[in-house]
Structure 1
């Protein structure tokens, strides 16, 4: 754990971040048991930060609680994914539209940095880095929309949306779609943004369905 007043991170937050990343990155698969005692030994901490982390991840929608001292990584049913997709569709269309209208030079530079990181990771075939950068790209778009309520909703749904965005396997195709979206936002071309978002959402929907079918075979 980091010490010192600057950059201090409570143990429970560090554990939460690590478990969250492992779930979103697919290291801990859906249905995997999360037992307090075992996690404490594995991560070298007491059971209290593990307990706090599991509670936080339940609230974020990534973990399903079980009686007493354990939980499981959430298994998203097709209805769960459909619900997420409906909400994502509404929020992302709004976020990209507002971002195209309100983006700043500094915000656009942050978006370009996210895109460059995703493109580089995709070229290297680094799925974890590419998917994380892709999620960063979407979160930066929301910040460019400059709507505090929209940002609040994004923060509430962030973990589940990152999980949903991680369901695609064609890393370069996703990065190229983001590149087109970046250019449309940079040009303040709202009509083009709306068309590209509609296509991007359909691509994500198809990717999630293909991943789901592959795991069921």
Structure 2
């Protein structure tokens, strides 16, 4: 391996790890990502860390600050509304095309992803289940076999995965994916498209419920802390 390739591989590795940490909730919105600390944590120089942060900035996951640090971005309700609007155009098309164009190998891969999502949901493993849910959508896009659509979906992959992580009812999401899978298997493009639209709307409601639950837990914590000080 050439020395020119090593920083590239290191920056990709750092970016992949940080992306997972952000999307899995390990690095919370508003938290700082400091170059020298990350370099020490990963055992690399600051150059690949800096490059990794630029990758994540391009994906809309962080905001770079002057010189040596960044902040994990907090997605607003407006951000997610924008995402839902774009998803409502692209995803129904992706599911329709997947139903019409899928091949045996692609369908088998989609089944494996769905089974992983289901088993981890039943085991109450939210991180694995939510990752698999995002993988399900990515696999559907591959089945659609449209390069331009794949490029468009790839550009919003991280934001889509973040949106899919903002729900608590893992079994409900899995059940909706099962219905979508069945429509794809039957090559029923109309039903797949209709279910995809409903899935996006359901995801919006789940996300709002998730946000409300978090807000309620935060308010309860503040009240409890205030009472303990009296």
TM range (shorter): over 0.9
Is residue 32–residue 69 contact of structure 2 (8 Å, CA) maintained in 1?
yes
Tell me the alpha carbon deviations over residues 5-26 of structure 1, each in whole angstroms, 9 at most, x when there is no partner: xxx8711110000000000111
* 2:70 counterpart SS class: strand
Q: What does the per-residue CA deviation read over 1:150-208, in whole Å, with 9 as the maximum and x for residues that have no partner?
A: 01111111111111111111111111110110001000112221221122111100111
CA RMSD of aligned residues (A): 1.5
TM-score (norm 1): 0.93
* Residue equivalent to 1:69: 68
What pairs with 1:1-217 in structure 2 (closer than 5 Å)? 10-217=9-216
1:115 counterpart SS class? helix
Partners of 1:199 and 1:89 lie apart in 2 by 9
2:81 & 2:52 partners in 1: Cα distance?
27
Larger Rg belongs to: 2
Q: Secondary structure at the match of 1:91?
A: helix
Q: Which ranges in structure 2 are unaligned for 5 or more consecutive residues? A: 217-230
Size of the aligned set, in residue pairs, is: 212
Name the CA distance, whole Å, in 2 between partners of 1:200 and 1:89: 10
Structure 1 residues without counterparts, runs of 5 or longer: none
The offset of 1:126, in angstroms, is 0.7
**Farther-moved stretch of structure 1 (188-197 vs 46-55):** 188-197
TM-score normalised according to structure 2 size: 0.88
Residues 93, 193 of structure 2: 8 Å contact kept: no
1:91-142 CA deviation, whole Å, 9 max, x = no partner?
Answer: 1111001111111111111110110110111111111110111111100100
Residue range with higher mean Cα deviation, 34-43 or 59-68 = 34-43
SS at match of 1:193: helix
CA distance in 1, matches of 2:65, 2:160: 23
Deviation above 3 Å: which 4+ runs of structure 1?
none
